[in-house]
A and B are shown apart, each in its own frame.
Chain A
């Protein structure tokens, strides 16, 4: 972890190009644009691409690559907390017994 890491401009440009390209892809693949429909999968695809973009911004633009372990661990724990919340909630809602009015 070198504190004052100076990322060369070329790297920034490469990352920007990657981000724009991925945006282009995710827009083309999307249903309202090209009608390309995978059902449930297109949510998954859109989010996979968004996660790749987010990781790119995180690692290079935000310098997470050169950040000390602690900040990285808290960043990951923030995402973990959201996953825990969502998965427990989805589990609860999925297993709820749906009753109907007896009258």
Chain B
């Protein structure tokens, strides 16, 4: 790093050891970014193998068992190693203290421990690649996972447990930071919306993750000791496993998307240079999503043998969780009204998020309504739905955040044209990949199928073409970001002249974040 940027958190200490033992939240955020980009690359490779196998009906180059393993690894790596830590650990770690005017997170040592736990958990999970692998699907449903699955399942389950612990500690750290270390004058209602997104996420991390932690331990106890909690032959109830699993896994999908929504609020405001519309509405919507998210997990199990009345109850409450999401989308839309909109790459990703997440949210209605879910459950419709909300939601928002805060993180500006090319690839490729899967689902093709009927073939072909495009786009984007880190021209302290606190310090910020005590007088976005 040339000394053009002066002393900052990147060059204030040299050498790998200074990075591996750093307590600076920004450096830990960068280390998370490197780890998660590697895991995302690994998961994407599995998704490409998957898609090329499904390019045409019949066995192409994988056996059924290998396909099941590739499908499981794609699911497990993407959820446990990329999406759950994703935005909170990368952008959260770097930006949270900066946005609330603090010097660091509340427990820096715990923050570093969380990173090592994630790496340890990921290593344990990846060991299973070299043993027999795991072929249960990322949901590990009993009694398949407790009985006949490959023995590698224990590694991935224990890995997921350790990564869950890392996720708890990050959530704990953020809640303590937000409560204790806000700048003078920054009341809860003057916090930036990205911080609110992280707060709602941390609530879920703290209260939901232990449930899956003990469920995974019970699964291991089932396989090792034959405990019989989930195995019907020993009197257990496999549906209880589904209840415990989805009690965590539904709030976790909100955990994955809430920080993304926080980023979108920031980007839409900054690039339309207009105060966010309905700040309080978005805050209450975020917390409502986190809260109601705990009551709806049964909509994953309408046809699983759960009682009909429970299905009715879960379907009713699920409709409640749809409303705050709709409110948020309307609020972002109204923020654009009468703004002064500048189409830079972060805003393109934010608008891409709105486009894709609107489809994701609306298709959720089919799955929340009881009688249509009977047809769509466990078909490619569901695959398309959660990719639209997860890849469209969380990943589009991650890139919006990365490009928006890249000048702050590394002091250099990305190349605008290359960024927009990357966006075009990702946006088009994503829609070409997953929109046909809605149609496949309607036609009745079940998910996790290694081989399928010939009439589904050409839609799968289109989807595979799309997956190539979207993965090329992802590679382009990371290359653009890397080149910006190395060779981008100096961006200055506030290239977007945004108003939140992180833009009032130098970029990249010094180790101590702020040179003087930060005072906050008004709301986070007073552009007027």
Sorting the interface of chain B by its residue count into under 10, 10 to 19, 20 to 34 or 35 or more gives: 20 to 34
Q: Which residues of B contact A93 (CB under 8 A)?
A: 307
Docked complex Cα distance between A77 and B295 (Å): 13
Residues of chain A in range 74-92 having any CB-CB distance to chain B below 8 Å: 74, 77-78, 81, 84-85, 88-89, 91-92
Chain B interface mostly: helix
Task: Compute how far the CA of A96 lies from the CA of B311 in the bound complex, rounded to whole angstroms.
Answer: 11
Say whether B206 faces chain A, with CB atoms less than 8 Å apart.
yes
How many angstroms between the C-alpha atoms of A91 and B243 in the bound complex? 12
Within 8 A of A (CB), among B240-254: 240, 243-244, 247
Q: B-facing mask of A59-77, CB < 8 A → 1, else 0?
A: 0000000000010001001
Decide yes or no whether B310 CB sits under 8 A from chain A.
yes
- Residues of B that sit less than 8 Å from A by CB: 175, 179, 203, 206-208, 211, 240, 243-244, 247, 294-295, 298, 305-310, 313
Residues of A within 8 A of B (CB): 70, 74, 77-78, 81, 84-85, 88-89, 91-97
Rounded to whole angstroms, the CA-CA distance of A86 and B40 in the bound complex is 36
Q: Which residue of the partner chain, among A77, A78, A91, A96, contacts B313 with CB atoms under 8 Å?
A: A91
Chain A nearest CB from B307 CB (Å) reads 4
B211 touches A95 (CB 8 A): no
- Residues of chain B contacted by A92 (CB below 8 angstroms): 243, 298, 306-307, 310
For A81, A88, A94, the residue with the greatest tally of chain B CB atoms inside 10 Å of its CB is A88
Q: Are A97 and B247 in contact (CB under 8 A)?
A: no
Q: Which residues of B have CB within 8 Å of A78?
A: 207
Chain A residues lying within 8 Å of B294, measured Cβ to Cβ, are: 81, 84
Question: Apart from A77-B207, A93-B307, A97-B308, what are 5 other A-B pairs with CB-CB below 8 Å?
Answer: A77-B203, A85-B243, A89-B243, A92-B243, A92-B298
Q: How far is the CA of A76 from the CA of B228 in the complex (A)?
A: 31
A88 to chain B, nearest CB (A): 7
Inter-chain contact A97/B179, CB cutoff 8 Å: no
- Report whether B207 and A91 are in contact in the complex, using a CB–CB cutoff of 8 Å: no
Asked if A96 contacts B307 (CB within 8 A), the reply is yes
Nearest chain B CB to A76 CB, angstrom units: 11
Which residue from chain A places its CB closest to the CB of B208 in the assembled complex?
Answer: A81
- Residue in A77, A81, A89, A95 whose CB lies within 8 Å of B309: A95
Chain B residues lying within 8 Å of A88, measured Cβ to Cβ, are: 243, 295, 298, 310, 313
Contact A95 B247 (CB under 8 A): no
CB distance from B212 to the nearest CB of A (A): 12
**Given A78-B207, A89-B243, is A84 in contact with B307 using a C-beta cutoff of 8 Å?**
no
CA distance A81 to B307 in the complex (A): 21
Chain B residue contacts of A95, Cβ below 8 A: 307-310
* B206 & A91 in contact (Cβ 8 Å cutoff): no
Which residue on B lies nearest to A94, using beta carbons?
Answer: B307
Leading 6 A-B pairs by shortest Cβ distance: A92-B310, A95-B307, A95-B309, A96-B307, A92-B307, A81-B207
Distance in angstroms between the alpha carbons of A78 and B307 in the assembled complex: 26
Give the residue name and chain of the B residue nearest to A92 (CB).
B310
Which of the residues B179, B206, B240, B305 comes within 8 Å of A89, measured between beta carbons? B240
